[in-house]
Amino acid sequence: MYKKLRLLVIAGLFTSSNLLAQSDNSPYSRYGIGDLLNTQNAINRGMGGVSAAYYDYTNLNLINPAANSKLTSTAFNFGVEISNRTIRSGTPPEKYSNYSPNISYLQLGLPLAKKQGWNLFLGLKPLSRISYKIAQGERLSFGSSTDSVNNMYEGTGGLYVANIGTAITVFKNFSVGVNAEYHFGSKDYSTRRTFLNDTVNYYRSNHQTQSSMNGMVFTGGLQYSIPMGKKSVLQLGAYGRTTTDLKATRQNIRETYTFNGNTGANVTIDSVFTSDEESGKLTLPTNYGIGFIFNRINKWQFGVDYVSAKWSEYRFFNQKDLVNDSWQIKTGFQILPKGGENYWSNVYYRAGVNFGKDYVSINEDLNTWAVSAGMSFPMRKSPYSNQFSVIQTTFEYGKRGDKNSLLRENYFQLTVGLSLNDIWFIKRKYD
């Protein structure tokens, strides 16, 4: 069974690399910093997103840095996801579906001082994605003539996070952590206009704005455990950050172009106007999360989180956008294995649900909800060596918007995570 699982992982990695040619298309990614991606690991995703009070001795918590003080061995966490999104509009009734792969996270944790519960962790993960391409036709009048025009609205980009952090157990059952995150990315919006007529030959036009942003963001967290007898623990957790400004630059381009049918590329004819590079800032909002987990040791866990972000504080070059304050309630559970010779007695089972309000707000709020389920499959029996590995899987189904929304989305998402652990820097002893 363990050998078969190794083969499945290798096959899955090759499959995901072939899927990178696929693209996403989400009109809502036009606003704010784009579609916010799930930055949690596969374990927390399987529990509906519960993470504020969650800790694991062999896996990293990517949301609350304080949880990583519990790490007892070197840990490498890697995750990939494949999403299928369906977008529906009411007027006119239309439907569009696509799927896209994405690398979810790449994280490494290193114990520095086990007795003090002091650990270091670092990694890279995507934060948001901008990806849309929408065609719209219209009729324009010029004096006595009327022409048909095709407008193509397109956007690409997103934000990524490279992080390094540390966590320490201050005293028994109480941990704190801080994460230094370097945010970087881009926003590229364009409107391409093509005249469809039989009388006058017009050049195609492109109105484009290219932006980039980068800067440091600091997130802090804490966790506290309260023993509830010999076999139970109440875990409490909180994390958050304050309003933070990133450096930003942007440039406006106005040009005429033609389409090369042989190469499939757009070729500039005349650069009508290119602005000087303008400096400004992108303001990320205050956000926080609090939660608890009731842990029946070595049997099961149940937890609830509340997460909020004040997106009304968001600004890009001092301008507001169609975004508003968001919130989510997350709840989920995990059933721990009994342990034993039977393979399935060593598998973890998880499930959860979350609901709330999305940060994009066009004329009305967008309600969201999702359900998830996951399992952990050990790849080798830990007694074999100091190394042990686990495949984490999570399946999610969710919706954004309802029948009253301009657009509504529903999605399926499969996340596969790989948890590799090893004990480094062992001090050898000789008799």
For 337-368, what is each residue's pLDDT tens digit?
776 677 888 899 999 999 999 999 988 889 99
Look at residue 12 in the predicted model and tell me its pLDDT.
40
Q: What are phi and psi of 230, to 5 degrees?
A: -80, -20
pTM: predicted TM-score of the whole model, two decimal places: 0.87
Closest Cα partner for 58 from 417, 347, 421, 390? 421
Look at residue 20 in the predicted model and tell me its pLDDT.
37
Which of the pair, 49 or 267, is modelled with greater confidence? 49
Copy the structure tokens of residue 279: 């400096």
Helix (H, G, I), strand (E, B) or coil at 215: strand
Look at residue 95 in the predicted model and tell me its pLDDT.
81
Residue 139 has pLDDT above 80, yes or no: no
Which of the pair, 13 or 277, is modelled with greater confidence? 277
What is the arithmetic mean of pLDDT over 277-292? 96
Residue 16 has pLDDT above 50, yes or no: no
Residues 268, 193: Cα–Cα separation, whole Å: 14
Least confident of 77-81, 145-149, 310-314: 145-149
Look at residue 69 in the predicted model and tell me its pLDDT.
95
Look at residue 11 in the predicted model and tell me its pLDDT.
37
Look at residue 142 in the predicted model and tell me its pLDDT.
64
Residues 343, 377: Cα–Cα separation, whole Å: 9
Q: Which helix (H) or strand (E) holds 191?
A: strand 174-196
pLDDT band at 3 (very low <50, low <70, confident <90, very high): very low
Pick the CATH number of 2-422 from 3.40.50.300, 3.40.50.1820, 3.30.70.100, 2.40.160.60: 2.40.160.60
Look at residue 397 in the predicted model and tell me its pLDDT.
97
Q: Provide the pairing of β-strand 407-422 with 74-89.
A: antiparallel
Look at residue 17 in the predicted model and tell me its pLDDT.
38
Residue 294 has pLDDT above 60, yes or no: yes
